[in-house]
């Protein structure tokens, strides 16, 4: 694909992200996205034949960006436990556009007929599995308490991350994303309350 074509696709992804975040999947048309992106609807359809394909492209694009951000943070921290999640929270706090989009679409996707339903089901399963593996490795390294269940810790981390992002949005950005996440991560490393 030409640089011009890549730039056009990136522009469409950014516009679609903003409009899906504001109006949800069903609340915005391809014609509106095309108009906001400054291209014709046939031009948009050339890149993304259906609105569902465009939505999945937006989800994939930003999920890949989040994974890249976390991988870079992981490398920079020398594999420090939880550092990648704190870096992601800080990035989302600095630009909440994606979390608004993600929160709206995640809620909509609970309906089995939503075009992103399977994407979210698979994404949450993949994320929970990856986090559980991270916790298990951190336990082996002595960074996480051995009596904790890695699968349960993974579910708690995902619930906390998504929940604090929702609270952040509802508070108009007045609440911190990083501090509560840091405290949850620390709770996994402290001495057992049952010891």
Query: How high is the pLDDT of residue 100?
Result: 92
Query: How high is the pLDDT of residue 1?
Result: 65
CA angle centred on 93, ends 176 and 143, rounded to 5°: 70
3-state helix, strand, coil in the chain (%, to 5): 70, 0, 30
Q: What is the pTM of this model?
A: 0.88
Query: How high is the pLDDT of residue 9?
Result: 87
The mean of the pLDDT values for the chain is: 91
Calculate Rg over the CA atoms of the chain: 19
Query: How high is the pLDDT of residue 192?
Result: 45
Q: Report domain extents, the chain.
A: 3-187
Q: Average pLDDT, stretch 108-134?
A: 95
Q: Average pLDDT, stretch 133-146?
A: 92
Q: For 22-72, what is each residue's pLDDT tens digit?
A: 999 999 999 999 999 999 999 999 889 999 999 999 999 999 999 999 999
95-98, long-range: CB < 8 A, 24+ apart: 96/165, 96/168, 96/169, 96/173, 97/17, 97/18, 97/21, 98/17, 98/62, 98/66
- pLDDT category at 195 given cuts 50, 70, 90 is very low
CA 123, distance to chain mean position in Å, is 9
CATH code that applies to domain 3-187? 1.10.357.10
- Size (the chain), residues: 195
Alpha helices, DSSP H, located in 26-149:
30-37, 41-47, 51-76, 83-94, 97-108, 117-140
Q: Out of 18-32, 72-86, 134-148, which region has the weakest mean confidence (pLDDT)?
A: 72-86
- pLDDT category at 193 given cuts 50, 70, 90 is very low
Q: Average pLDDT, stretch 114-136?
A: 95
* 83: nearest Cα among 148, 128, 134: 134
């Amino acid at each position: 694909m030409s640089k011009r074509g890549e730039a056009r696709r990136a522009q469409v992804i950014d516009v679609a992200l903003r409009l899906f975040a504001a109006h949800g999947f069903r609340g915005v048309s391809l014609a509106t996205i095309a108009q906001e992106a400054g291209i014709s609807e046939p031009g948009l359809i050339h890149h993304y034949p259906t609105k569902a394909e465009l939505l999945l492209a937006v989800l994939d694009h930003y999920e890949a960006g989040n994974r890249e951000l976390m991988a870079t943070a992981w490398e920079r921290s020398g594999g420090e436990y939880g550092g990648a999640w704190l870096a992601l929270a800080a990035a989302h706090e600095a630009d909440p556009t994606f979390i608004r989009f993600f929160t709206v679409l995640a809620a909509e996707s609970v309906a089995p007929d939503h075009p992103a339903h399977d994407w979210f089901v698979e994404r949450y399963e993949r994320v929970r599995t990856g986090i559980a593996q991270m916790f298990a490795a951190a336990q082996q390294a002595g960074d996480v308490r051995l009596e904790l269940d890695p699968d349960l810790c993974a579910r708690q981390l995902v619930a906390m991350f998504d929940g604090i992002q929702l609270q952040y949005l509802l508070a108009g950005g007045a609440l911190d994303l990083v501090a509560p996440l840091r405290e949850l991560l620390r709770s996994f490393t402290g001495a057992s309350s049952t010891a």
